[in-house]
């Protein structure tokens, strides 16, 4: 800057840094009119020297501030930090590490690194407990000591010489994180559903124990090591369909898929799948939860078969089957009810007791109450109105149905139309009654037949006796005829009692008569002649009529 020439003027010289930054101003008050060259050079030299001093002071101050700031930053880090030299002596530690040991940070400077073995033990034989491989510039591993777990990160910075090499160890306490990981893994493995993380091409990244068991592998490592995708899907097209659906929706809920276990058996699953996409929107990972529903599927198939079987039985049985609620209203009727002519509109929602004859309704209501109390009623015979309006005779059985709490919530009614069977039963009872009468008549006829035979025999003898007067012969002839008629009546009763049809056959009357006459050995050979007059003969001890024979 120019110097003023007036007497008593003030001279200012700028003090600038190397980057031309103004650091200050040198002020000179002069009492002379002119300023010499030596004075000018002196002022400029003083300004340069002042600028250099100020700039060095400023840099030193900045360095000190930076150093203090670095120390404060290092001390603010909660991780343990220690720096040692090539001789395994501590050069620097941060405050958290010193506080953990209960000493000031400066007290650790110069101490051997072996004194820090109490913090964590890595199993190293080197003087430093945290160094494993001195040839590597960086390394990271986990070290444990007591109840604490540390992640040790090591960095080595070479100096100008080998003696200046520094090794920095950062010990991060990951005990809580490891505990969280342990709990997460326990939860991950304790879930009964299969959990998995997989790549889009089907390779598993992580699975839990349930997933390993579902797929039938020996261990998680075996499942993660093998590429099971080609074997997992019995139908290759199923995987393509799955990927298309996941790509379109991003999330699949209750997705049913049939997979194949390691041994080849089928595994029916219900899956919830989520797609994790990258920055470009492509699927980077597939995460899912899988539920084994094989047993449920088998049970459903068996239940469906049983339901179809029961439905076929209900629809093909000849009995009408209805389901009533506890109030007696019809809620279900099988096909036989409609085949019998009843309409759905007159069955469902109506009371069954309205179909029962008025005189039998009290019995039906009592049976319904008994069934509602949990007891079964069998073969209750009532008269019920048919679909055509006529009254029929029905056999009704009522059975209770129970809910999960074992309470009766409905009644199954089985109705069988036994009207025809009742008629047949009445006819059978009448037949049995007639058979009883026949047996009674047969017994009486046999008893009557014996005295009749005696009457016939003695009447024949009297007619053959010449001493019997003629007036008596006419009476004897009437007795013989009436006795014979009574004999025929008894024979008809015997035939009725035996319930055998009359049989007709051709006979030789003369032969039979001659045999009858010659067969007697009691001397009354004329008996057959007398019998032939009335149309009745004896053969093998029984009465018979030529040309007409009754069943024995």
* Structure letter (DSSP) for residue 518: H
Domain-located, residue 305: no
Task: Establish if 461 belongs to a structural domain.
Answer: yes
CATH of residue 502:
1.10.287
Residue 481 domain flag: yes
For residues 489-518, give the mean pLDDT.
65
| Pair 429, 520 in one domain | yes
In a domain, 539, yes or no: yes
CA distance 296 to 301: 8
Residues 108 and 160 in one domain: yes
pLDDT digits (tens, 9 = 90+) for 314-346: 777 778 888 998 888 998 888 888 888 888 888
Q: Which of 46, 71, 96 is the last residue of a domain?
A: 71
Do 454 and 411 fall into the same domain?
no
Range of the domain at 42: 10-71
By the 10 Å C-beta count (0-12 exposed, 13-18 middle, 19+ buried), 443 is classed as exposed
- For residues 294, 300, 304 and 309, what is the CA-based torsion angle, rounded to 10 degrees? 90
| Residue pLDDT, tens place only, 119-139 | 877 667 788 888 888 788 888
Domain boundary among 298, 331, 352: 298
Angle among Cα 542, 544, 550 to the nearest 5 degrees reads: 100
Sequence-distant (≥ 6) Cβ neighbours of residue 324 within 8 angstroms: 330, 331, 352, 368, 410, 411, 412, 413
Instruction: Looking at the structure, tell me whether residues 409 and 431 fall in a common domain.
Output: no
Share of the chain above pLDDT 90, in %: 4
- Check whether residue 55 and residue 125 sit in a common domain: no
Listed ranges 258-262, 386-390, 480-484; the one with the highest mean pLDDT: 258-262
Does one domain contain both 228 and 261? yes
CB 72 within 8 A of CB 40: no
Of 145, 178, 211, which residue is a domain's last? 178
| CA end-to-end distance (rounded Å), the chain | 173
Q: Do 173 and 81 share a domain, yes or no?
A: yes
- Number of neighbours of residue 152 by Cβ within 10 angstroms: 21
Cα–Cα distance, 431 to 436 (Å, whole number): 9
**Mean pLDDT across 283-311:** 85
What's the confidence (pLDDT) of residue 160? Answer: 59
Q: Which residue has the higher pLDDT, 443 or 94?
A: 94
Strand residues in 236-364 grouped as ranges (E): 251-260, 266-277, 283-292, 320-325, 330-333
Q: 156 with 212, same domain? A: no
Instruction: Assign residue 371 the CATH number of its domain.
Output: 3.30.450.20
Regarding whether 147 and 52 lie in a shared domain, the answer is no
State whether 63 and 95 are in the same domain.
no
Q: How many domains does the chain have?
A: 5
Per-residue pLDDT at 544 exceeds 80: no
Question: 409 by DSSP, 3-state: which?
Answer: strand
Inside any domain, residue 183: no
Name the range with the highest mean pLDDT among 72-76, 290-294, 302-306. 290-294
Whether 205 has a pLDDT exceeding 70, the answer reads yes
The long-range contacts involving 105-114, CB below 8 angstroms and separated by at least 24 positions, are 105/75, 108/82, 112/88, 113/82, 113/84, 113/88, 113/89, 114/88
Residues 539 and 428 grouped into a single domain = yes
């Amino acid at each position: 800057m120019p110097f003023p020439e007036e007497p008593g003027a003030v001279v200012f010289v700028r003090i600038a840094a190397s980057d031309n930054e103004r650091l200050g101003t040198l002020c000179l008050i002069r009492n002379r009119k002119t300023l010499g060259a030596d004075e000018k050079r002196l002022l400029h030299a003083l300004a340069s020297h002042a600028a250099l001093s100020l700039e060095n002071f400023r840099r030193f101050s900045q360095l000190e501030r930076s150093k203090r700031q670095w120390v404060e930053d290092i001390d603010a880090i909660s991780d343990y930090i220690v720096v040692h030299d090539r001789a395994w002596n501590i050069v620097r530690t941060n405050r958290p590490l010193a506080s953990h040991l209960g000493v000031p940070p400066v007290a650790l400077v110069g101490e051997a690194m072996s004194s820090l073995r109490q913090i964590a033990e890595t199993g190293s034989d080197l003087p430093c407990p945290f160094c494993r491989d001195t040839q590597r510039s960086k390394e990271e591993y986990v070290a444990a000591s007591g109840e604490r777990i540390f992640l040790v990160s090591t960095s080595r910075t070479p100096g100008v010489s080998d003696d200046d090499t520094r090794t920095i160890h950062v010990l991060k306490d990951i005990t809580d994180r490891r505990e969280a990981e342990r709990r997460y893994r326990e939860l991950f493995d304790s879930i009964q559903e299969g959990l998995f993380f997989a790549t889009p091409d089907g390779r598993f990244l992580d699975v839990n124990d349930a997933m390993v068991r579902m797929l039938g592998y020996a261990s998680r490592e075996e499942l993660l090591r093998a590429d099971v995708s080609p074997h997992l899907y019995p139908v290759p097209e199923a995987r393509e369909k799955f990927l298309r659906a996941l790509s379109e929706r991003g999330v699949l809920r209750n997705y049913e898929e049939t997979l194949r276990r390691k041994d080849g058996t089928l595994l029916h699953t219900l899956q919830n799948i989520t797609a994790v996409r990258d920055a470009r929107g492509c699927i980077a990972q597939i995460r899912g939860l899988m539920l084994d529903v094989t047993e449920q599927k088998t049970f459903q198939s068996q239940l469906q078969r049983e339901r179809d079987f029961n439905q076929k039985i209900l629809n093909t049985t000849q009995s009408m089957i209805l389901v009533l609620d506890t109030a007696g209203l019809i809620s279900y009727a099988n096909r036989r009810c409609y085949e019998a002519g009843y309409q759905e509109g007159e069955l469902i929602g109506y009371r069954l007791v309205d179909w029962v004859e008025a005189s039998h309704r009290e019995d039906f209501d009592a049976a319904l109450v008994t069934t509602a109390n949990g007891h079964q009623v069998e073969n209750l015979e009532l008269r019920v109105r048919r679909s055509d309006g006529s009254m029929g005779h029905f056999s009704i059985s009522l059975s209770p149905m129970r809910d999960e709490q074992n309470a009766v919530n409905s009644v199954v009614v089985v109705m069988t139309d036994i009207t025809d069977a009742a008629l047949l039963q009445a006819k059978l009872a009448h037949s049995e009654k007639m058979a009883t009468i026949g047996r009674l008549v047969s017994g009486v006829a046999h008893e009557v037949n014996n005295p009749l035979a005696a009457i016939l025999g003695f009447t024949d003898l009297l007619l053959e006796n010449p001493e019997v007067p003629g007036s008596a012969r006419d009476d004897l002839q009437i007795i013989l005829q009436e006795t014979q008629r009574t004999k025929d009546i008894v024979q008809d009763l015997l035939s009725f009692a035996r319930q055998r049809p009359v049989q007709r056959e051709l006979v030789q009357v003369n032969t039979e008569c001659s045999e009858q006459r010659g067969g007697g050995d009691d001397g009354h050979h004329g008996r057959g002649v007398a019998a032939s007059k009335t149309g009745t003969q004896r053969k093998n001890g029984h009465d018979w009529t030529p040309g007409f024979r009754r069943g024995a």
